């Protein structure tokens, strides 16, 4: 029988709006629900406390990390329930821009790690949606692997999931679980959300755990939902199944990481190479 750790993970799916305090209260209630359902680790989605398209309104409502009411409330819940909480991200002031920052909180309520989203979502979609995160947010420059009582966790946010080199680097740095909490658009989520998560899990031999925003938000955007927990073989262990707020749970058996990486040891087999361009016109 395997002696590797196990824990119960939960994703909290939300539909955050324009009122940070209402979003805080919704997050606290759902995290408590997850803890009462047996979760040892609970993750909330990207932009837990505020989903706001207007740059001016965003700056009016965003505070520094030390003053953020959602961060304070979820630290208190972690301590109250004796669980690990990962806040998928909060918008916090960072100079003349805003950081899209994730937090890992231990069972005493202490912040053990934070991560600023590296890859910023600047895209024009076929349905006319236009996003320019770089106009408002400052991108991070450091990948993060944080220790927990069970396993090292690699922390990413949303658009990061499209950059496999980041995930490989996290796995090579020891992550057995990788997270990509998100506010994924409905259009791109329908096309890519599940396949990206299964691919990142398979490529790295890691669990993928990603809480998501879902539904029609007050600022007019539509997000995909479908919070996911995927095992290292690419099997979906839990899927919120739609865009309604709620909680999903799954048992995380770290022996599956060892097994997957032994079966397909790509982390060991990678070799350096160069790329040669052939036949390019003069």
Closest to 89 (Cα-Cα) out of 27, 150, 132, 29: 27
Q: Are 213 and 183 in contact (CB under 8 A)?
A: yes
CA distances from 209 to 44, 120, 271, 278 (A): 10, 20, 28, 41
- Report the 3 state secondary structure along 109-136: CCEEEEEECCCCCEEECCCCCEEEHHHC
Residue with tokens 């506010």: 183
Query: For residue 76, what pLDDT is reported?
Result: 98
Catalytic positions: 46, 117, 158
Residues 6+ away with beta carbon under 8 Å from 6: 150, 251, 252, 253, 254
Encode burial over 191-208: b for 16+ CB neighbours within 10 A, e otherwise.
Answer: eebbebbbbbbbbbbbbb
Q: What is the mean pLDDT of residues 90-97?
A: 89
Predicted confidence (pLDDT) at residue 244 exceeds the cutoff of 80: yes
Q: Is the pLDDT of residue 219 over 70?
A: yes
Span of 118-127, 184-193, 249-258 with lowest mean pLDDT = 118-127
pTM exceeding 0.75: yes
| Interatomic CA distance for residues 107 and 121, integer angstroms | 32
Is CATH 3.40.470.10 correct for 7-263? no
Domain residue spans of the chain: 7-263
H/E stretch holding 258 reads: helix 255-263
């Amino acid at each position: 029988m395997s002696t590797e750790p196990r824990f119960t993970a939960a994703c909290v799916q939300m539909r955050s709006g324009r009122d940070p305090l209402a979003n805080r209260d919704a997050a606290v209630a759902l995290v408590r629900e997850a803890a009462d359902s047996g979760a040892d680790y609970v993750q909330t989605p990207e932009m837990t406390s505020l989903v706001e398209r207007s740059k001016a309104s965003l700056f009016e409502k965003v505070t520094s990390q030390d003053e953020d009411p959602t961060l304070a409330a979820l630290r208190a819940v972690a301590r109250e329930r004796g669980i690990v909480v990962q806040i998928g991200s909060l918008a916090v002031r960072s100079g003349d821009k805003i950081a899209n920052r994730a937090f890992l909180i231990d069972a005493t309520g202490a912040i053990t790690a934070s991560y600023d989203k590296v890859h910023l979502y600047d895209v024009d979609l076929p349905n006319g949606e236009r996003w320019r995160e770089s106009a408002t947010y400052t991108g991070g420059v450091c990948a993060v692997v944080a220790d927990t009582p069970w396993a090292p966790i690699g922390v990413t946010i949303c658009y990061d999931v499209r950059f496999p080199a980041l995930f490989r680097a996290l796995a090579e740095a020891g992550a057995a679980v990788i997270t990509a909490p998100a506010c994924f658009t409905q259009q791109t989520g329908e096309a890519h959300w599940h396949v990206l998560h299964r691919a990142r899990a398979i490529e790295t031999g890691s669990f993928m755990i990603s809480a998501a925003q879902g539904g029609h938000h007050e600022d007019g955007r539509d997000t995909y939902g479908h919070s996911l927990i995927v095992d290292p073989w690419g099997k979906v262990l839990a899927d919120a199944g739609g865009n309604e707020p709620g909680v999903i749970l799954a048992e995380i058996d770290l022996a599956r990481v060892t097994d997957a990486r032994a079966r397909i040891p790509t982390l060991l087999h990678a070799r350096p190479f160069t790329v040669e361009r052939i036949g390019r016109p003069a």
